[in-house]
Amino acid sequence: MISEYSHLRGNSFNQTDWVKSHATALAETLSNSPYNGELSLRNYIGECFSHQLYPEDIQDWQYFNALTSEYLAAQLSVAEAEVIGYQQGFLLPLLFALDKQPPVDRMIELVKTGERIFSGIPYQTEHCLNQLTVKQHENKYVLNGQVSRIIQNQETDFHCLLATNEESNNLCLLIVEKSALDVAITAQKPFSKNEDCLLARAHCNEFAIENVEGCYSLSKQTVLQIMANNNFATALRANLRTRLCLDFIVAFLRERTTHTGNLLSIDVIQQRLAACEAQWSMHYAHCYFALTSSKPEALERSEACRTLAFSLLEQVARESQHLGGIIHYRTDSPLADLFLESRRNLLLR
């Protein structure tokens, strides 16, 4: 299906030689190794990413994510795509942005091979960076504030927290074990039909953590740029997910028949979905146009792309339920599972 829309990529942005070779190679790996639930998420990440090179120039991550995110969205559930997309589009660029040192290099290798999986914490706006503060007290790190969105499952073993140092006012990256934050978790709900993947929230009030694997200072501007790039990639995944929804809806409605013929004519289907189709094309083009921006307003533009994509996803889900009675078609149905995950995904906005 991706090849059908590959013309939308075309020359939408200037790809470096690095991106042309390595992003294409990774996309081919993903295409030839679709995730179907037979492998653990850990093994899947290791199989796809362990032998790939990654860009060390932050700007290159824009183009890299733009290509590979399409394949993730096409092959994985929403929850799994977000977890893997987070490792690739947000966590690894953050680690690459740190000063080169053995602990960081080791962490990068563990993430790339799937030996270590971080929960997905989708930081989308600058406001998110001010929700958590940290201070040191008697060899402990004391957290205050909240982490409003954490995507985790049974294979997640670490969190990557961005917090403001209360003393220096600098931005810090904290690497903590998943179990260290469990006590602070205030709410969890299934992200999708698979209850192994949960959407959680954590509230920290003078919450002390003893075993912090790493605490590193980061430039706020660097984090904002990585955040913007990741928002673009997330919007592209949401747009492609919408494209899949539209295709599923059309296929489903065409199969709905009565003893006198089709329940809905093809003309009615096309008419009702035409607006969604037009909006999808517009939002998709908007994402790729925004990728060319490296100006300060890139973060606002990327968040706008992301919000538009998720809003359309919600609209398509509602329209499909109205047209096809999806509520009666939800048992072991890829379409129904997709809608359930799409609605859960709206909580990430």
pLDDT of residue 164: 93
Flag whether the pTM goes above 0.85.
no
Residue 307 has pLDDT above 60, yes or no: yes
The answer for 125, left when phi > 0, alpha when psi is -120 to 50, beta otherwise, is beta
CATH 3.20.20.70 correct for 126-218: no
The answer for 81, left when phi > 0, alpha when psi is -120 to 50, beta otherwise, is alpha
Residue 39 has pLDDT above 60, yes or no: no
pLDDT of residue 205: 92
Residue 247 has pLDDT above 70, yes or no: yes
Q: Span 62-86, mean pLDDT?
A: 71
Give the pLDDT band of residue 7 (cuts 50, 70, 90).
Answer: very low
CA distance 207 to 5: 48
Give the pLDDT band of residue 158 (cuts 50, 70, 90).
Answer: very high
Query: For 42-46, 179-183, 249-253, which range has the lowest pLDDT when averaged over its residues?
Result: 42-46
Could you tell me which residue, 9 or 115, shows the higher pLDDT? 115
Residue 323 has pLDDT above 80, yes or no: no
Could you tell me which residue, 142 or 343, shows the higher pLDDT? 142
Q: What percent of the chain has pLDDT over 90?
A: 10
Q: What is the mean pLDDT of the chain?
A: 74
Q: Span 289-312, mean pLDDT?
A: 75
Joined together, the tokens standing for residue 153 give 């499952």
pLDDT of residue 335: 63
Q: What is the full DSSP assignment across 18-47?
A: HIIIIIHHHHHHHHHS---SSS-HHHHHHH
Instruction: From residue 107, give the alpha-carbon distance in Å to each of 11, 114, 132, 176, 256.
Output: 35, 11, 23, 12, 51
Q: Closest by alpha carbon to 72, among 86, 62, 61, 58?
A: 86
Q: Closest by alpha carbon to 304, among 287, 282, 285, 279?
A: 287
Q: Span 243-254, mean pLDDT?
A: 74
CATH 1.20.140.10 correct for 221-348: yes
CB-CB contact of 222 with 173 (8 Å): no
pLDDT in tens, 261-291: 556 666 766 777 777 778 888 877 777 777 6
Joined together, the tokens standing for residue 16 give 């470096």
pLDDT in tens, 188-236: 877 766 667 788 889 999 999 987 888 899 988 889 888 888 888 888 8
Q: Give the 3-state secondary structure percentages of the chain, helix then strand then coil, rounded to 5.
A: 55, 20, 25
Is 126-218's fold the same as 221-348's? no
Q: State which of 44-48, 54-58, 97-101, 175-179 shows the largest mean pLDDT.
A: 175-179
Residue spans of the domains in the chain: they are: 2-112, 126-218, 221-348
Residue 321 has pLDDT above 70, yes or no: no
pLDDT of residue 99: 80
CA distance 87 to 85: 5
- The DSSP symbol for 260 reads T
Q: Which helix (H) or strand (E) holds 342?
A: helix 334-345
